[in-house]
Each structure stands twice: as C-alpha cells, then as structure tokens.
Amino acid sequence: MNSIELISKKEIILLALEKSIKTIKLGESPKKYPMYKYCNTVTYVDRQYLSIDPNEVVNAPKPWILINNMGEDFKLLPSKLFENKIHVDIVGFVECEKDGVNLDSLMNSLQRDIFAAILSDETLNQTASYVVPISIQTVPIMINPYGGFVMMIDIVYVFSGLNI
C-alpha cells in the first residue's frame, strides 16, 4: 500500500506567499496590476527565521525578506467547516546604498511591492479566503545604512477534515 503525502492547505498558502514575494523584480509588473511597476528586486526570502543576529542583517543580500508563521486561530463554522486564521509576520531588511536616499522611503517602497505581489498572486487568491493587513512596525535597533520592518498580516481560509 502506497502512502500519498498531501500538502496541507496551510502549506500551499505559505508557499504561495513565499513564491509571490520572490517574484518581485525591479521594473516588472504583477499580473493583476499591469500598470504597477515594482520598485525593488527581492534577492532573498527565508521562512521561519526567528532569531536574527545583527551580523546576519549586515551580511545577507538585501532586500532580505523573512516569512514567519506566528501561530493560528481556529473557529468552527455553522456548516461544520473550520476557519483558520494564520498570523504571519513578514520581516523586511533594506540597505541604503546611496547618500541622500531616505531609509524610510526604501522600506515603504518594499512594503508596497510586497502588498502588490500578495494581492496579485493567483494561488493565494484561490486558496485563501482573504488576507488582512494588521500593522507595520519598524525594527527599532537598526543602524543606518540598514533598515527593517515587520508587516503583520492574517491569512484566513476555510477547510474541512484533514485538509488543514
């Protein structure tokens, strides 16, 4: 008897999130928003990278994006389906390579690119019920020329049985 390993719906969503962020390339457009042009090229994406050493920020290629699953909340729906809300932190690090360039503007630009990529991803749109931006905070211990932010989002989807 062969066992078939199925990827969970949650993993499909997290992989789609990762893939969508990896598509961010300077001057290109997300499929859903052809009039929008990305302002950055994401060079590196990691998942579940919680303990960050300042030397890693300096040495990692920038922009560096981390996607961290911070936990989940389940709710039983009247239809006997379940709703799952995944709490995700998207951490971004940028480096200001030119004098006179505003570090905050670089972070804002990358945040906008990330939102455009997430909102235009077909797999994410078909698998998740919705994505809710919660907040964006800057990383307080950054030293110029490096900047960091944390985007907190919730991704909500419905499932039944083992398709968690």
What single-letter DSSP state applies at residue 163? -
Spatial CA neighbour of 22 closest among 57, 63, 50: 63
Split into its structural domains, the chain has a count of: 1
Spatial CA neighbour of 121 closest among 48, 30, 35, 56: 30
- Is 147 a domain residue? yes
Give the pLDDT confidence of 106-157 residue by residue, as tens digits: 999 999 999 999 999 999 999 999 999 999 999 888 788 889 999 999 999 9
Give the pLDDT confidence of 21-73 residue by residue, as tens digits: 999 999 999 988 899 999 999 998 998 777 888 888 888 889 999 999 999 99
- Is 2 a domain residue? no
Helix, strand or coil, per DSSP, at residue 98: coil
Q: Which domain range does residue 75 map to? A: 9-159
This prediction has a pTM of: 0.89
- Is 4 a domain residue? no
